[in-house]
């Protein structure tokens, strides 16, 4: 096994043995800073601006991220169809996985998580499962180490994503994260406890919460989930909701303080979502390192 492969296995073992692992942060908002236009299909950049995507991955790895997510959050058939790219599902996902794999290999450490987001439309469950299966198959072909099924607003849709993954990539570990409102309740009305229990029963390997209304809402959800599942927990909040000027309010220092509280609440995987940057990752790394040194 390669050095990079050994490192990836070590990271995965830590998550699923109850250790602590640091994930990356936002991809979309980082691409906007690099000149990508609002409304442009970020997933398609895997094909025509791969060096830009790789630069974001590398920044997060240098900041201390141990898991990077592929630039494929919206690379499913329904979202890509809106951009006229329906026929490029496999190509875009495969390229996203290969770009991330190359970055991890060059850094000699870390894992590649295939990012799968919601479909963005309401469809029959069979159609949802087919779309998730198509995306999952391409990510698996690209050699991802695990899948992050994230920002799920509906337990029904999350369930179809899990079923699809089990059908076409049974060997991949699944981290499944819901998004919640300010009170820590899923957007389909399910409680955080219900979500954790159902996702566990459906076959997730880790469950949790991402994006949402910032770190406080994610922390509330994780605290509630802890008593409803034996699985490792994941917490990857956004940096709050952006203001009129598009500025996200949660600083790296504040995000790092919440990261510590999320670990204390039982989270094994922590990281960021929209509006977070490598500076947020670096600050979280410092806090988690200090906690480890203190035996916390």
Q: Read off the pLDDT of residues 21-48 as tens digits, 9 standing for 90 and up.
A: 999 999 999 999 998 888 889 999 999 9
Please compute the mean of the pLDDT values over residues 271-293 and round it to a whole number. 97
Report the distance separating Cα 225 and Cα 229, nearest Å: 7
Report the CATH number at residue 40.
3.20.20.330
Please compute the mean of the pLDDT values over residues 129-144 and round it to a whole number. 98
Segment holding 200, helix H or strand E: helix 192-202
- In the chain, the number of structural domains is 1
**pLDDT score, position 39:** 80
What DSSP state is assigned to residue 86? G
**pLDDT score, position 5:** 59
> Strand ranges (DSSP E) for 154-259?
173-178, 206-211, 233-237
SS3 214: coil
Q: Give this prediction's pTM.
A: 0.96
- Cβ atoms within 10 Å, residue 133: 19
Range of the domain at 122: 3-178+187-293
113 CA to centre of own chain: 7
181-215 tens-digit pLDDT: 998 999 999 999 999 999 999 999 999 999 999 99
Angle at 16 between CA 12 and CA 17, to 5 degrees: 110
**pLDDT score, position 38:** 82
Residues 6 or more apart whose CB falls under 8 angstroms from that of 12 comprise 111, 145, 146, 173
64-106 tens-digit pLDDT: 999 999 999 999 999 999 999 999 999 999 999 999 999 999 9
Q: What share of the chain is helix, strand, coil (3-state, %, to 5)?
A: 50, 15, 35
Please compute the mean of the pLDDT values over residues 222-241 and round it to a whole number. 97
208-229 tens-digit pLDDT: 999 999 999 999 999 999 999 9
Tokens of 61: 């790895």
Please compute the mean of the pLDDT values over residues 230-254 and round it to a whole number. 94
18 versus 158: the higher-pLDDT residue is 158
């Amino acid at each position: 096994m390669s050095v990079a492969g050994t490192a990836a296995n070590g990271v995965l073992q830590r998550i699923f043995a109850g250790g602590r692992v640091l994930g990356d942060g936002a991809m979309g908002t980082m691409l906007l800073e690099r000149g990508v236009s609002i409304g442009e299909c970020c997933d398609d950049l895997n094909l025509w601006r791969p060096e830009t995507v790789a630069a974001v991955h590398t920044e997060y790895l240098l900041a201390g991220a141990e898991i990077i997510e592929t630039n494929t959050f919206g690379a499913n058939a329904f979202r890509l169809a809106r951009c006229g790219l329906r026929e490029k599902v496999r190509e875009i996902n495969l390229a996203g996985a290969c770009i991330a794999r190359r970055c991890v290999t060059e850094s000699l450490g870390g894992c590649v998580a295939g990012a799968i987001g919601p479909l963005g439309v309401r469809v029959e469950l069979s159609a949802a499962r087919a779309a998730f299966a198509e995306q999952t198959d391409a990510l698996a072909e690209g050699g991802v180490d695990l899948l992050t099924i994230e920002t799920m607003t509906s337990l029904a849709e999350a369930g179809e994503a899990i079923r699809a993954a089990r059908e076409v990539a049974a060997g991949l570990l699944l981290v499944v994260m819901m998004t919640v409102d300010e009170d820590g309740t899923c957007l389909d009305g399910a409680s955080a406890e219900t979500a954790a229990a159902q996702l566990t029963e459906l076959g997730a390997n880790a469950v949790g919460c991402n994006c949402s209304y910032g770190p406080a809402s994610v922390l509330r959800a994780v605290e509630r989930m802890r008593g409803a599942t034996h699985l490792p927990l994941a917490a990857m909040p956004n940096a709050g909701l952006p203001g009129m000027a598009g500025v996200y309010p949660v600083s790296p220092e504040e995000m790092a303080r919440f990261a510590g509280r999320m670990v204390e609440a039982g989270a094994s995987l922590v990281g960021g979502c929209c509006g977070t940057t490598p500076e947020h990752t670096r600050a979280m790394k410092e806090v988690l390192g200090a906690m480890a040194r203190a035996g916390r």
